[in-house]
Amino acid sequence: MSGLVLNNVTKEFGTFTAVNNVELTVPHGTFVCLLGPSGCGKTTLLRMIAGLDLPTDGAIRLDDKDITKVPTHQRELGMVFQSLALFPHLTVGENIAYPLRIRGRAKEEQKKRVEELLAMIHLSGYADRPVSKLSGGQRQRVAIARALSISPKLFLLDEPLSALDAKLREAMQVELRQLQQKLGITTIVVTHDQREAMTMADTVVVMSKGEIRQAASPIEIYRRPADTFVADFIGSTNLLEAEADSAGRVTVLGQPVSGVSLGAGVSKATLSIRPEDIHLTAPGNGALAGTVTFVRDLGGTIETFVDIAGRQIVAVSTPRARPEVAVGQPVGVMLLPDVCVVLAK
C-alpha cells in the first residue's frame, strides 16, 4: 500500500531500548502526531523515519519500498527541526531555495518556487532578509517553507512549535493543519503537547517507554483510551478501582454501583471517567457518597473536588449547570454507565 509502514522497528542505545518493536501504518496523505512524555522514544522514532538514526531491528517502508538503510539525503524528505536549523549564513530566500539549489535546479525555477512558498507562508518580500532578523513565528514559517520546497514525500516535524509562545503556537497549529490538508502531504509531527496533537492530527499515536500504547483518531483516544496511561496522559480523568463479585455486582471504592459491568469473568479493573462526565447529585439514589473538599470557579468552568473514602475526584461543570454544593457538605457522585471506560488492571 502507499504510505509509510513501520515493521517491528526497534532502536537500542547500548543497553537502553529507546524504541521497542513499533508497528505503525501511516496511509498516504494523513497527519499523524507522535505524542508522549519526554524520553518516550517519539523523537528517536521520527529520526529513524528520517534516516538520521538507524534502527537496530525492523524495517521502514515508504510506498512499498524498503528505505530502512537508504541514506537521509536520498529519502526526498522535508523536515522541521526543534531548533528549526535555519542556515545562519544564508538569507530567507537562500534557505528556502537550498533543497532546489543542491539538486541543480535552474535559477529561474528556484526563484519562482521561493516566491510561491513565501506567498504561502505570508512572507512575500522577505527573500533577501537574513534569518537572524526574523521573529520566532516568521522563522517557524521559513523552516516549514524550506521543508516543503521540493514537495517531499514525507513531511516530518520535531516539536516544531515548542519555541513559540502559547498564543502563537495555537494559531500555528491551525495554520499547519490547514496547509497540510491543502497540500495533501503525509505528515508526522512529534509533540508532547496533547492539545497540539488533538488540534492537528488525523491519527494520534500515544507512546510511552519506547512503545506505542494506542494509535487512533483524537476523539477515539479521548473517548476510548486503551489503557490507564493513555487515559491519564490525554486530558484529565478520574481513575477509580472497581471490583466485581462472582455475580457480576460491581463496587467502586467499596460502594456498590449499578449499571456498570467490568465484562465477563473480570474481577478487578480501573474505571476512567472524564471530569465533565461526572454528575453530582444529592447523596443516595445509587450515587457514591462523598464530601466536597474544594470548589474552583474559573468562570467558564467550575471544578468541584470530592473526597470519596480518601480518594479525590474532580467533576467539571459549566456555569449553567452549576452544582448545588458547598465545601464540607456531603454530595452524591453518579457514575453513568455509558461514560465509564473500563480499563484492564
Partner 1 sequence: MRREAPQKLGDYGPLFFPAMMLIVFFVVPFATMIAVSFFQRQQGGFYVPAFVFSNYERFLSLFFANVLGFSLMLAITVAICCVLLAVPFTYLLTRMARKVQIVWLVALLSVLSLSEVIIGFAWSTLFSRTAGITNLLVMMGVMSEAKALLPSFGAVLTGMVYQAFPYTVLVLYPALVRLDPTLTEAARTLGASPIRAFFTVVVPALRNTITATLIMVFIFALGSYLLPQLLGRPQHWTLSVLITDQAIYQSNMPFAAAMAVFLVLVTLGLVALTVMAGRKGEAA
Partner 2 sequence: MTGALSKVYFFLIGVFLALPMIVVAGVSVNEKQTLAFPPKGFSLSWYGEIFLNPEWRNALFASLTLAILSAAVAVAIALPLAWFLWRRIAPWANIFQLLGIAPFTLPPVITALGLLTFWATTGFYGQPWTAVVSHAIFFVTLPLVTLSLGFTAIDRSLVEAAATMGADDRTIFRTVVLPLILPYIVSGYAFAFVLSLNEYIVAYMTVGFTMETLPIKIFNALRYGYTPTMASVTILFVATAAVIFSLVARFGDLPKLLGAMSSDDT
Residues that bind partner 2 (CB under 8 A): 50-52, 71-79, 81-83, 85, 87-89, 98-99, 101-103, 146-147, 150, 156
Using the minimum distance from each CB to partner 1, give the nearer residue, 72 or 178. 72
**Partner whose footprint covers residue 78, from partner 1, partner 2, none (CB < 5 to 8 Å by kind):** partner 2
Q: In what order do the strands lie in the sheet with 57-62?
A: 16-27, 3-13, 57-62, 65-66
**Partner whose footprint covers residue 85, from partner 1, partner 2, none (CB < 5 to 8 Å by kind):** partner 2
Using the minimum distance from each CB to partner 1, give the nearer residue, 48 or 92. 48
Smallest distance, Å, CB 245 to partner 1?
A: 58
Out of 53, 159, 196, 277, the only residue in the binding site for partner 1 (CB under 8 A) is 53
Residue 72 is a binding residue for partner 1 (CB under 8 A): yes
Beta bridge partners of 250: 244, 257
Residue 54 is a binding residue for partner 1 (CB under 8 A): yes
Helix, strand, coil percentages (3-state) for the chain, rounded to 5, are 30, 35, 35
Using the minimum distance from each CB to partner 1, give the nearer residue, 71 or 265. 71
- The residue assigned the cell 521497542 is 20
**Partner whose footprint covers residue 54, from partner 1, partner 2, none (CB < 5 to 8 Å by kind):** partner 1
Amino acid code (one letter) for 235: G
Count of residues engaged in binding partner 1, rule: CB under 8 A = 6
Smallest distance, Å, CB 338 to partner 1?
A: 51
Smallest distance, Å, CB 69 to partner 2?
A: 15
Residue 158 is a binding residue for partner 1 (CB under 8 A): no
Beta bridge partners of 32: 188, 203
Using the minimum distance from each CB to partner 1, give the nearer residue, 117 or 154. 154
DSSP 223: H
* Region near partner 1 per CB under 8 A, out of 1-9, 46-54, 232-240, 277-285: 46-54
Smallest distance, Å, CB 74 to partner 1?
A: 12
Smallest distance, Å, CB 52 to partner 1?
A: 6
Q: How far apart are CA 258 and CA 251, in angstroms?
A: 9
Total Cβ atoms within 10 A of residue 131: 20
Cβ 125 vs Cβ 114: under 8 Å: no
Smallest distance, Å, CB 67 to partner 2?
A: 13
Smallest distance, Å, CB 52 to partner 2?
A: 5
Helices (H), the chain: 42-50, 92-101, 107-120, 136-148, 166-183, 194-200, 218-223, 228-233
What track of x and - describes contact with partner 1 for positions 265 through 284 (by CB under 8 A)? --------------------
Q: What is the DSSP string of 242-304?
A: EEE-TT--EEETTEEESS----TT--EEEEEE-GGG-EEESS-TTPEEEEEEEEEE-SS-EEE
Cβ 83 vs Cβ 160: under 8 Å: no
Beta bridge partners of 201: none
Which residues here bind partner 1, judged by CB under 8 A?
51-54, 72-73
